[in-house]
Amino acid sequence: MSNPSTAPDSAVIHIPEWEHNTTSRNEIGKSANNTTSAGHRTNLRSKLDIWMPPQRRYIGLRRRTFMIIALCVIIALLALIIGLAVGLTKRSSTQNLPLPSDTQSFTGDLTYYGTGLGACGVTSTDSDHIVSISHYIFDAASSGSDPNQNPLCGRYIRAARYDEQVGARRSVDLKVVDRCVGCQPTDLDTSTAVFESLAAIASGRVDVTWAWLPAAATGN
């Protein structure tokens, strides 16, 4: 018969020594991190108390209230500065565009496209004297979300070039009815009839010189 005092106790769980060590190291690490974070917060608070003693009043306000208001003012100023910077950038980018306010002549590429319903809400045919201007100019002059209300819609452009077919310079007045996505700022996209009056249709793309006509001269 076995001695009860020497029988193994099934209720006792023996944890390996390495697990004790790992647990101890984790607890020590967490404690050290917490101590370090608390130390940093204490140091920051101490420095703040030196520069801004909590017992003092700042323009009649408690320190916490003053700091909240000051932070809000700083954020508002930053937002204002960013807004002004964006506005100046947009303004400078539009200053170099050939808008109607610029009375000089411009040189770009002349192409033609299949006409139809344009961005100005006007339906044109291939025989109409119309023009699609660059999206850069069209969008810069936009006054809202409705492209039909764009102030450039209905304005006139006089396009001219030396026509090699006849050995003479020709010009034509064109009405703005559309927005050309693939055009650079000084490019023009016209109907086939207009293109044929300035160059051979087989050319596809030629140079052109153009300028805005005064609104009073065209009744716009």
The pLDDT value recorded for residue 14 is 55
This prediction's pTM: 0.56
The pLDDT value recorded for residue 18 is 47
The pLDDT value recorded for residue 110 is 97
The pLDDT value recorded for residue 124 is 96
The pLDDT value recorded for residue 196 is 94
In the chain, which stretches have pLDDT less than 70? 1-41, 83-95, 102, 216-220
The pLDDT value recorded for residue 91 is 47
**∠ CA 75-76-77, rounded to 5°:** 90
The pLDDT value recorded for residue 212 is 95
The pLDDT value recorded for residue 166 is 83
190 and 110 in contact (C-beta within 8 Å)? Answer: yes
Q: Where are the domains of the chain?
A: 17-95, 106-218
- Write down the CATH superfamily of domain 106-218: RlpA-like domain (2.40.40.10)
